[in-house]
Amino acid sequence: MSEEFSEPTVVRDNRRIDPETGQVRGLSPADAPQPETPAAPTVGGPDDGAADAELDAAQGLAASRLEELQRLNAEYVNYKKRVDRDRDVAKNAAIAGVAEALLPVLDDVHLSREHGDLTGPFVAIADKLEATLARFGLERYGQDGEPFDPAVHEALMHSHSDEYEVATCTKVLQPGYKLGDRILRPARVAVADPQG
C-alpha cells in the first residue's frame, strides 16, 4: 500500500552553521528580519489637533523648565558672590580686631623706639611684630608738618601761627593706624591754624 502525495516535500534547514563546512550561513533576504517602518502621520486627519496640542504642551513644559533652570542658576551665582563677599568681610573684620587689640603694644614700641629705650633682642621682636602686621595691611601714618585733614587726624591742641597758610599738623602726639582704606585710629596731633 503506497500512497502518493501530489505535492512535493520541501525541507528547510534553518541552522545557522552549515553541518558540512562549519561556516556561518548567511540569511537569505526573505529570512532577514525587516525593520518596522513607523506609520506616516496623517495630515489633516482627526488626530492632527491632538498632536498639535501635545507638541504645544511639551514646548510649554520645556520653556518653563528652562526658565526654572535659569532662575536657579542666577540664584546660585548670587549666593556664591554673597558668600565670597561675606567671607572677605569676616576676614577683614578679624584682622582689624586683632590689629586694634595690638595698638597699645605698637604705641609702646613706637615710644620706646623714639626715646631710644628699645634695645637688645626687643628690637628684633618689635621689627618682626610690625613687619607681620604690615603684611596684613596695617599702616602707621602721621608726620609733623603735613596738612591737617579732619578725616584722618584728630586735633588735640590748637594754636595760631603766621608760619602756615593752611591748618598744619605741627606735632604728632600719637600716630594713626589704618588697615587698607579703613582708619583704625586717627592720628592725634597738635594743629597750627593760620593767623587771621
Tens digits of residue pLDDT in 44-99: 555 567 888 889 999 999 999 999 999 999 999 999 999 999 999 999 999 999 99
- As a whole number of angstroms, the distance between CA 116 and CA 26 comes to 106
**Domain contains 115:** yes
**Domain contains 30:** no
Domain containing 113: what range? 95-194
Tens of pLDDT along 109-151?
Answer: 999 998 888 888 899 999 999 999 999 999 999 999 999 999 9
Task: Give the pLDDT band (50/70/90) at residue 40.
Answer: low
**Domain contains 60:** no
Could you tell me which residues come within 8 angstroms of residue 89 by beta carbon, excluding any fewer than 6 positions away? none
Per-residue pLDDT, 16: 75
**Domain contains 179:** yes
Q: What's the CATH code of the domain at 189? A: 2.30.22.10
Q: How many domains does the chain have?
A: 1
**Domain contains 140:** yes
pTM of the complete model: 0.58
Largest interatomic CA distance in the chain = 155
CA pseudo-torsion sign 141, 193, 111, 107: negative
Q: How far apart are the first and last CA of the chain?
A: 155
**Domain contains 84:** no
Task: Give the pLDDT band (50/70/90) at residue 4.
Answer: low
**Domain contains 71:** no
**Domain contains 116:** yes
- As a whole number of angstroms, the distance between CA 93 and CA 192 comes to 35
What proportion of the chain, given as a percentage, has pLDDT over 70? 85
